[in-house]
Amino acid sequence: MSKDHTDAAREELGRITDAGLLRRLRTLDSPQGCVIERDGRRLVNFSSNDYLGLAASEPLKEAMIEGVQRFGAGAGASRLVCGNLAPHQELEETLAQFKSTEAALAFNSGYATALGVIPALCGKEDVIILDKLSHASLIDAAKLSGATLRIFPHNNVERLENLLKTVRARHDSNARVLVVTESVFSMDGDFAPLSEIVALAEHHDALLLVDEAHAVGVLGPQGRGLVAALGLEKRVPLQMGTLSKALGTSGGYLAASRAMVDLLINKARSLIYSTAPPPAVAFAATAAVRLVQSEAGASLRERLQANIRQAKGGIAALGSTVVTTVQDSESFPLQSAILPLIIGDETTAMQIAEALHQEGFLIPAIRYPTVARGSARLRLTLSALHEGTQIESLIACLHRHMPELLPAAPPALQVGSDESFASRECGIEAK
């Protein structure tokens, strides 16, 4: 019997391989950083979400060690049983201050945050409206809730407004309507039109959740995110994020009103039925939140922005061979650290990534199912720790390899024009 199942697994793997979509784990021989070692090679790393270079930084390593010495290696139980230690409490107070909310709740990961929060607040009587390019954690959480799901085309506020009107007209007035978006999108690096979304949600009496996973630490005053940069803290009732990207550690959080957090303590299943994060991790994450708000954090953000400007300039010089969604620097002075080079074809994207790898650069090709079919890309991310010369040599290398590998005509592709896998898998179409 078990042999049959193993054979079936092999067959399925064969089909994934034939489609050119096999993924496998590869191990780093070094810590996280902008230069890493893998398979005996040194690579300049343009693929990490460790935007401020904090993951292996001295202050956070020291905080983690101090956390272990003072609080041990594990939490021992769920937060509600006896696993709620002082560092968890302190992390949440620090996050609430950082986010200018009454309270915050920490989870094991950003993924666990979405999975805990959304089904706790919405059930089968309710409606959840998501941006089409929402992260898989948000889609999975919405699906788990049992609510009716609606998708609006990426960043299309007009279509969001139409959906809100229809939903309000069709559904029971007691139904809760939850609008979900990211502030900086994880694969395209573009920004949501948050001011307009906030106004629409308010007008139609919908709850709003904004996932700041790629904005926190990077954008806004003291790295408080795009919501704060736009002065919308008091108008976004559910601000979600992760501690695992610019904050360099691990875990997720929701910042919200005291009542909302107290309700989630009673209802969020990923909080209730999972052992609390290791207290040392919460201790180090607290140090990270403080660090990004400090002078040192501000100068890391300045260096990151300078690196983004340099890379963006170099990419622009590649001309029409790439489509990027980097922000217009006239309208908003800050950029996200994610620069997607949309290639289109999966195989070409893989070839370019391989050529860059040969020359000592790690920029993975991101392809279906993480992004839509035919929108394969190199997802280039910058860190505050990159040297100007590393960016220069990368751009030179792109100039050498991209023209010969790309089809003669650049792909006629709009970013976000295709269904992402996460929403497609749910069988929910954009309306």
SS3 177: strand
Output the smallest distance, CB 214 to ligand PLP, in A: 6
| Residue 278 sits in the site that holds ligand PLP (CB under 6 A) | no
Q: Which stretch binds ligand PLP (CB under 6 A): 196-204, 208-216, 269-277, 278-286?
A: 208-216
Q: Is 140 in the site for ligand PLP (CB under 6 A)?
A: no
Active site residue 134: no
Interacting residue with ligand PLP among 182, 188, 418, 419 (CB under 6 A): 182
Q: In whole angstroms, what is the distance from residue 288 CA to residue 210 CA? A: 21
Has 262 been annotated as catalytic? Answer: no
Please report whether residue 242 would count as binding ligand PLP according to CB under 6 A.
yes
Residue 78 designated active-site = no
**Whole-number minimum distance, CB 109 to ligand PLP, in Å?**
3
Closest by Cα among 27, 65, 58, 33 to 46: 33
Asked if 47 interacts with ligand PLP (CB under 6 A), we say no
Stretch that binds ligand PLP, among 30-38, 104-112, 152-160, 404-412 (CB under 6 A): 104-112
* List 135, 143, 154, 312, catalytic entry: 135
d(CA 364, CA 341) in angstroms, rounded, equals: 11
Q: Which member of 57, 137, 305, 423 binds ligand PLP (CB under 6 A)?
A: 137
181 scored as a contact of ligand PLP (CB under 6 A) = no
Name the segment binding ligand PLP (CB under 6 A); options: 20-28, 144-152, 209-217, 372-380. 209-217
**If we measure between CA atoms, which residue out of 325, 383, 286, 299 comes closest to residue 88?**
286
Q: How far apart are CA 427 and CA 421, in angstroms?
A: 10
Residue 239 as a binder of ligand PLP (CB under 6 A): the answer is no
**Long-range pairs of 98-102 with CB within 8 A, sequence gap ≥ 24:** 98/222, 98/224, 98/255, 98/289, 98/293, 99/224, 99/225, 99/228, 99/233, 99/239, 99/255, 100/224, 100/228, 100/233, 100/234, 101/233, 101/239, 101/255, 101/256, 101/257, 102/256, 102/257, 102/258, 102/261
Work out how close the CB of 243 gets to ligand PLP at its nearest, in angstroms, rounded to a whole number.
7
Sole binder of ligand PLP in the list 88, 99, 132, 135 (CB under 6 A):
135
* CA 338/CA 60 separation, integer angstroms: 24
Q: Which stretch binds ligand PLP (CB under 6 A): 21-29, 80-88, 207-215, 300-308?
A: 207-215
CA gap 306, 212 in Å, rounded = 21
Collapse the DSSP code of 392 into the 3-class scheme (helix H, G, I; strand E, B; otherwise coil) and give the result: helix
Binding footprint of ligand PLP on the chain (CB under 6 A)? 109-111, 135, 137, 182, 186, 211, 213-214, 242, 244, 252
Residues designated as active site:
49, 135, 182, 186, 211, 214, 245
